[in-house]
Structure 1
């Protein structure tokens, strides 16, 4: 029997290698919304911050955030042919599926974008909860648990950001984070996730046993 009967995945920075695209899209987004461009020298420092701290640091008005999110989803859709899954991500999803683990995907990205990049692995996902939400990620985790009739004690959320750790704690599920995504390993360690994953082999072992 697997260690966890449900694995809830984030997408960008967890399964998809989209951080280079994200950085490349920042100037275009800043110009479109008349915001300050990001100094390339700031990028590593931004990886130390939570998403809210990063937005505050960049001076992004919260009222503009929904429009900015939609705009970046549009840019992602236009450029997603250049975005790939991390090496080993698809094999890991197939391994978990074959072991009987239910799979869910929770992301602020659009479901159509996510499915396109997942390719053949898209059909392995038992539940998608994509798109922006006023209620945040923890509530999406709760909705997934209810829809798939799973106990929080038997579930793990896997992401790559500080906010993924916070949301998992709020939902009462275990949490693991990749060290190759949007937030740095050092930043993630400060928030004490249950697991830090440097590769998908370790991730599979933690979930399946």
Structure 2
């Protein structure tokens, strides 16, 4: 059904939530917004992104600066970040069965490639990185144009509610994974076209 699979990176292919939780309060102190209290993160995983920003007191004008700082921290700590088990076999299977693989991420392409490793990075045909927090839909459209794939043959797969909204704005199908940042029930409430609980399910649906 799909000839193009566009993946989010952090929380979808890479297990970065523990790292995010570790560095978050330091970023909050630097940019003067609310820290996440011990035990609060789990509840916040069920909150939509704009509501989460309001809860933390993050002004919109600060978001690009916070995002740039997070990218620098990810570059510093890239040697500590790892793919989820099953991510590399999935990308290889899709590649080998003729599905074009792309990555659209708020992270930098350099960081993404470093975590993937040279061999796995070579399985990805298109990178569109450095997306703004609510700007992924423009990256999705750019990947569609580069790949020469009609919107009806593409699916975007991510771990956050904003990934679902971005796919809808770009006119493509969306799949949500249950092992990333947003809680499964929060994702399901926004009606993704598919919900994946294992990497193998993605391979079965796409490959």
TM-score, normalization by structure 2? 0.96
Give yes or no for contact 2:3–2:153 (8 Å, CA) kept in 1: yes
Is 1:194 matched with 2:193? Answer: yes
Aligned match for 1:82, one of 62, 80, 83: 80
Alignment of 1:50-199 (within 5 A): 50-119=48-117, 120-133=119-132, 136-199=135-198
Give ranges in structure 2 of 5+ residues lacking alignment: none
Q: CA deviation at 1:41?
A: 2.2
Distance 1:52 1:150 in 2: 31
RMSD: 1.2
Q: Please give the per-residue CA displacement for 1:23-70, whole angstroms capped at 9, x wherever unaligned.
A: 111111012123232112221111001222111110011111111111
Give the match for residue 49 of structure 1.
47
Distance 2:55 2:5 in 1: 32
Distance 2:199 2:132 in 1: 28
Give yes or no for contact 2:13–2:84 (8 Å, CA) kept in 1: yes
Q: CA deviation at 1:133?
A: 3.6
Is 1:26 matched with 2:24? Answer: yes
**CA 1:134–1:77: 2 relative to 1, 3 Å:** closer
Runs of 4+ displaced beyond 3 Å: 132-135
**Secondary structure in 1 matching 2:85:** coil
Q: CA deviation at 1:171?
A: 1.2
Distance 2:121 2:148 in 1: 21
Q: How many residues align?
A: 206
**Secondary structure in 2 matching 1:113:** helix
TM-score, normalization by structure 1? 0.95
